[in-house]
Amino acid sequence: MKRTKGLQGRWLRNTLSLVLALVLLCVTALSVTVAAYYYSSMEAGMESKARTGTAFFETYIGQSYNEYYQSCAKFTQSFDAKDVMELQFVNTGYRIVASSYSNLSKKTAETDDIRQAIETKEISSFTGENPDTGERIMAVSSPLVYTNGEVIGVLRYVTSLKRVDRQILMFTLLISLVGLVILLIVYISGRYYLKSILGPVSEITKTAKRIAAGSYGVQIQLHSNDEIGELADTINDMSNKISQAEKMQSEFVSSVSHELRTPLTAISGWSETLLSSGGSVDTREAQRGLRIILRESKRLTGMVEELLEFTRIQDGRFTLNVAMSDLRSEFEDTVFMYGSRLAQENIELEYLENDDDIPEIPCDTARMRQVFLNILDNAAKHGGEGGKITAEIRRVEQEILIRIRDFGPGIPEEELPLVKKKFYKGSSKARGSGIGLAVCDEIVSMHNGSLELSNAEGGGTLVTIRLPIEAQ
């Protein structure tokens, strides 16, 4: 649960804060843009009026000052937009000589637009607070130039920004509300999305903890085709494989215990028999007991060596002593040596000769002989009831193929992909630890080859070893 809250908190800090920042940025940018548009439109309109008024009033510029001021008073009285803005005539001393708001006449107006219009003889604007009232205003001043080039006054339009500022504020509030709605939608949809992810993740976490606690084989009940479903399928597959490995390991321990106990029992029994006989046992009986002890001791030695080889493979200490070798000769020697042993068990080992040119290849001769013997031993144990085993070595293009086939019952199809796995014995009741083929597969792989098992046509198991031939 802490981790779930952590993911929610991270989402709130990252995604939601980013969306909030974007909403604030958009609201600010839109508000500034709208305000600038309103102000610039008002300013352009007032400047247009100022130019028109100045052009119209130029006909009075050549009169005397008194006539000029009287004309200003008449012009302001006839001003028809006095409900939205004020028209002023300001002299060079910043005193209002005439105004469409008569109560403002003879007051002073000291804003930057008047000063700049007088100094530069160009139209100038001002946006800010009225020094007298503190109200936000916009003013545009146009200089009135006398015939001798002297500025005798300023025609000034003034309007309040109260209404415009209120409209801008309403617009800002409106888009802020829209931004808030967007933020709320993102938050609700994000929470729903997180819930749709965190629910399955929580279920996966619980199941993974059960697997880690030893409940191998337990499955996650999720039905989705997205990445969460793929993760659940992967963990389910892992759980099954761990369960199978655990089962195979338990079977391996049981099998090895049985395999060790059988020869130890024989050795212990015959040793006690020979020791307790007090020399009364006859020579043939003693020789029989000693042969059994020797055979079972060799069997124990082979099992221990096999286990040692496996542990070396597991911890990476398994190495090869590679040298150029005549693999055909090594294989033939192994087959003929093992054939005499199988003959005692009434099993025929037939070597299929051929004239293929098989060159020497770099390999570990002792390890490859170990592979040959292990496969022949497996053929005798699992397929010996067929009474026959065939063996051959051939060259096929740039590969050496070694095939060993028995004529027994074969391997069930569902077990074929598993027989090379460590500890796996399958349905076979034959003696063995279940790691021999895993060791053989590792040795062949270290020679850049492959070991394949299949059911032969007509019955029995076919083992195929493929080894590459390097360029001569």
The per-residue pLDDT for range 342-355, each reduced to its tens digit, is 888 888 999 999 98
Long-range CB contact pairs, 140-144, < 8 A, 24+: 140/43, 140/46, 140/47, 140/49, 140/50, 140/113, 141/50, 141/90, 141/113, 141/114, 141/116, 141/117, 142/50, 142/51, 142/53, 142/54, 142/117, 143/54, 143/117, 143/118, 144/54, 144/57, 144/61, 144/89
Distance CA 460, CA 378 (A): 12
b/e string for 350-361 if b means 16 or more Cβ within 10 A?
eeeeeeeebeeb
Across 94-108, 177-191, 290-304, the highest mean pLDDT is recorded for 177-191
Question: 67 or 61: whose pLDDT is higher?
Answer: 67
pLDDT, one tens digit per residue, over 394-445 is 999 899 999 999 988 888 888 887 777 766 665 565 555 567 788 888 889 9
Sheet with 450-455, edge to edge strand ranges:
348-351, 388-396, 399-406, 461-468, 450-455
Question: 231 or 355: whose pLDDT is higher?
Answer: 355
How many Å is the maximal CA-CA distance in the chain? 165
pTM over 0.75: no
- Give the rounded distance of the alpha carbon of 432 from its chain centre: 44
Distance CA 379, CA 413 (A): 17
Q: Which helix (H) or strand (E) holds 58?
A: none
SS3 278: coil
Tokens 């021999």 found at: 436
Mean pLDDT of 34-41: 91
pLDDT of residue 4: 47
Q: Name beta bridge partners: 362.
A: 324
Q: Which of 190, 228, 225, 179 is nearest to 207 (CA)?
A: 228
Strands 151-160 and 86-90, how do they pair? antiparallel
Q: Which of 372, 437, 376 is nearest to 400 (CA)?
A: 372
Q: Which of 366, 368, 359 is nearest to 394 (CA)?
A: 359
Q: Say if residue 239's pLDDT is above 90.
A: no
pLDDT of residue 2: 47
Hey, what amino acid is at 369?
R
Mean pLDDT, the chain, rounded, equals: 81
Q: Say if residue 238's pLDDT is above 90.
A: no
SS3 291: helix
pLDDT, one tens digit per residue, over 409-421 is 888 888 887 777 7
Q: Say if residue 69's pLDDT is above 80.
A: no
The region of weakest confidence among 9-13, 233-237, 320-324, 348-352 is 9-13
Cβ-proximal residues to 23 (8 Å cutoff; 6+ apart), any chain: 179, 180, 182, 183
For the chain, list the domains and their CATH numbers. Answer: 2-166 (3.30.450.20), 227-309 (1.10.287.130), 323-468 (3.30.565.10)
